[in-house]
Structure 1
C-alpha cells in the first residue's frame, strides 16, 4: 500500500461538502447546476470542491456539449474500500503479520493506491 497516495485521497474526503458531493454522485451522473441545488454556497465554491475531488481522482468529468458532467470514479472507490477494510481488520495481509518490505510489495501488486 502506498500510504502517501492513500492519505491524499483521504484528505480530499476530509470536507463534509465533498463527501456529500460524492454521495450525490453515487446515485447518478450530475452537472454542476444539479449539484449546486443541494448546497448553500456559490458556483465558484462548488468548482473548488470539484477540483479537489478531480485532483484526487475521486470523480470523473465528461464534457457533453458545453456542460461538464461528474460521476464517481468507481474503480478507485472500490480500491479505497478494499484498503480501508484491510487497514481496519486483521488479516494475513496485515502489516503486523509481515515485514514492512513484504507488505509494501504485496500491496503494490494488489492496490495501485
Structure 2
C-alpha cells in the first residue's frame, strides 16, 4: 500500500513542486464524493514504489487543486494523477486510466 502525504495548502504544494526538481513525485487528486474517484483511489493506494506520493482532496482543498492545474498547465479533472519531474508533469491520467499497472509502468525507469 502506498504511503502518501496529504497536501492541504498551496504553500505545501509549492514545496512539493520544488522537491520534484530533486526527485520525481506522484500526485493524486481525489474527489471524496465520486465513485470513479473512489475506484482510482484504490488503484493509487495499491501502488507500491519507494517514492514520494501525495494526495489532494479536491473538494476540501479546492485552492490547492486549482493551483496544481495552473502550475502544470493541465486542465483539472478528478480523479487525476500526475508523475511530476523537474516541476513538470511527465505523465498524467484521469478517471479509469488511473491504474496500479499504469503507475507501475510510468515509474518503472525511475
Please report the TM-score for the alignment, with normalisation by the length of structure 2. Answer: 0.28
Please report the TM-score for the alignment, with normalisation by the length of structure 1. Answer: 0.27
Greater strand content: 2
